[in-house]
Amino acid sequence: MDLTGKIALVTGSGQGIGRDTALELAKHGANIVVADMNLEAAEKVRREVEVLGRKAIACQVNVADKEDVTKMMDATLEAFGDLDILVNNAGITRDAMMHKMTEEHFDQVIQVHMKGTFLCMQAAALHMRKKEKGKIINISSISGKIGNMGQVNYAGAKAGIVAMTKVAARESARYQINVNAIQPGFIDSEMTRAMPEEIRQSRIHEIPLQRAGQPKDIANAVIFLASEYSNYITGTVIEVAGGRSM
């Protein structure tokens, strides 16, 4: 899955799944735009990419802000002259049971996940249509399929990303742009490691493969969808959840 010379933009890539995805894309030959709200974290990942022998830039971006997204796209094209791969990974959680969730926390999650995905897809597609090529990969969540308690905002947004992916795939197919989504399951991360151990173990017990996923498991799926091996795949959702929702 050779991505040599490809330009990949990964949002929310200062840590976690986004960081592993950016590094894995670089290992397969791509040059990287590391985009994150936290510029210091983005710069750190940029340096990690450069150690791998690839070119990289770091961008501070709020994906829910159109002006920020436009600046990010302009910086990408100024630095590299092209964009081949977009990974919409940026996200936040504001968990609470539905009767306790504030309107502010509901809106924040919808803005980052749904509006952010829309704005980044829109900006990327406007460029990709001219070139008649491109791969867009949206990170949804298994929560958007099965619904997790305390995540009416997050699960709703992640389900919405699946629908947006299918619409974008239909609209972009004539321009040879592939648009697909990935639904991660229970992934080993700072957030999940902060759970009480009994709850963490009960979640793992629900997984047929009997382990939490690793960020690299998601990154591997991104590599496939970003490569020529997926050229005849669009509008699909790949679950990377260890069989949890079978």
Which residues pair with residue 86 across a beta bridge? 9, 136
Check residue 228 and report its DSSP letter. G
pLDDT at 11 (0 to 100): 98
Alpha-carbon gap, residue 2 to 99, rounded angstroms: 49
Angle ∠(127,224,85) on CA atoms, nearest 5? 15
Helices 152-172 and 103-110: crossing angle in degrees, nearest 10, is 30
Give the residue among 108, 121, 112 at the shortest CA–CA distance from 181: 121
Looking at the structure, give the CATH architecture of the domain made up of residues 7-240. Answer: 3-Layer(aba) Sandwich (3.40)
Alpha-carbon gap, residue 26 to 3, rounded angstroms: 8
- Regions of the chain with pLDDT less than 70: none
Edge-to-edge strand list for the sheet holding 177-184: 56-60, 31-36, 7-11, 85-88, 134-139, 177-184, 237-240
Q: Domain residues of the chain, as ranges?
A: 7-240
Known catalytic residue at 154: yes
pLDDT at 157 (0 to 100): 98
pLDDT at 55 (0 to 100): 98
Q: Which of 154, 175, 229, 232 is catalytic?
A: 154
Contact (CB, 8 A) for 46 and 58: yes
